[in-house]
Amino acid sequence: MKLKKGQKLIANISNLNIKGFGIAKLYQGSKTYNIAVDGAFPGDLVECQVYKSKKLYAEARVLHFLKYSRDRVEPNNDYAGISGATPLETLAYPKQLVYKQAEVIRILNNLNLKSVINPIIGMEDPWFYRNKMQYSFGIEADTFEFTLGLHHKMYRSKIVSVQNCNLCDPLCNKLISFTKAYFQKTNLVPYNFFDNSGLLRNLTLRFSKNTTDKMLILELSNYSNDPVVDQYFQALQATFPEITSAYLLNIIVKKGTKTQNVLTHKFGQTTLQENLHLKTQNLEFQVLPLAFFQPNTKQAQTIYQTVLDLVEPGKLALDLFCGTGTIGLFLSSLFSKVVGIELEPQAVEVAKSNALNNQLQNIEFYCGDVYKILNSKQFQQPDLVVVDPPRSGLTPKALDLIVNLAPKQLVYVSCNLKSFANNAVELTEKGYKLELVTPVDQFPHTRHLEVIAKFTRPK
Pick the closer one to ligand SAM by CB: 101 or 326: 326
Active site residue 48: no
Of the candidate residues 342, 349, 441, 450, the single one contacting ligand SAM (CB under 6 A) = 342
Q: Which candidate, 181, 220, 185, places its Cα nearest to that of 201? A: 220
Burial state string for 361-397 with b = 16 or more CB within 10 A and e = fewer than 16: eebebbbeebbebbeeeeeeebbbbbbbbeeebbeee
| String of contacts with ligand SAM for each residue 383-402, x by CB under 6 A | -----x-x------------
Is the alpha carbon torsion for 35, 38, 42, 45 positive or negative?
negative
Pick the closer one to ligand SAM by CB: 61 or 352: 352
Neighbours of 229 (CB within 10 A): 22
What is the DSSP code (8-state) at residue 354? H
Pick the closer one to ligand SAM by CB: 18 or 367: 367
Size of residue set near ligand SAM by CB under 6 A:
19
Q: Which candidate, 257, 259, 154, places its Cα nearest to that of 201? A: 259
CB of 304 to ligand SAM, least distance (A): 7
Amino acid of residue 425: V
Phi then psi for 288, rounded to 5 degrees?
A: -100, 160
CB of 398 to ligand SAM, least distance (A): 7
CB of 120 to ligand SAM, least distance (A): 19
Of the candidate residues 310, 343, 405, 425, the single one contacting ligand SAM (CB under 6 A) = 343
C-alpha 286/C-alpha 369 separation (Å) is 22
Burial (CB count <10 Å: 0-12, 13-18, 19+), residue 359: exposed
CB of 260 to ligand SAM, least distance (A): 17
Of the candidate residues 327, 339, 399, 402, the single one contacting ligand SAM (CB under 6 A) = 327
Strand partners for 59: 36, 52
Of the candidate residues 322, 417, 421, 453, the single one contacting ligand SAM (CB under 6 A) = 322
**DSSP-assigned letters across all residues of 346-388:** HHHHHHHHHHHHTT--SEEEEES-HHHHHHHS-PPPPSEEEE-
| String of contacts with ligand SAM for each residue 54-83, x by CB under 6 A | ------------------------------
Rounded to 5 degrees, what angle do the CA atoms 286, 289, 290 make? Answer: 105
Exactly one of 48, 165, 322, 415 is catalytic; name it: 415
Following CA atoms 58, 64, 68, 72 in sequence, which dihedral angle do they give, to the nearest 10 degrees?
Answer: 80
Residue 276 found at the interface with ligand SAM (CB under 6 A): no
Query: Beta 8-12 vs 146-151: how paired, if at all?
Result: unpaired
Pick the closer one to ligand SAM by CB: 388 or 441: 388
Q: Of 170-178, 230-238, 323-331, 422-430, which segment contacts ligand SAM by CB under 6 A? A: 323-331
C-alpha 196/C-alpha 406 separation (Å) is 47
Of the candidate residues 344, 364, 400, 426, the single one contacting ligand SAM (CB under 6 A) = 344
Residue 284 found at the interface with ligand SAM (CB under 6 A): no
CB of 441 to ligand SAM, least distance (A): 16
Rg of the chain, C-alpha, whole Å: 24
C-alpha 215/C-alpha 217 separation (Å) is 7
Pick the closer one to ligand SAM by CB: 57 or 366: 366
| String of contacts with ligand SAM for each residue 291-320, x by CB under 6 A | -xxx--------------------------
Q: Are 451 and 439 in contact (CB under 8 A)?
A: yes
| String of contacts with ligand SAM for each residue 345-384, x by CB under 6 A | --x---------------------xx--------------
SS3 state of residue 255 = coil
Pick the closer one to ligand SAM by CB: 247 or 321: 321
Note the residues at the interface with ligand SAM (CB under 6 A). 292-294, 321-324, 326-327, 341-344, 347, 369-370, 388, 390, 415
**Positions marked active-site:** 415
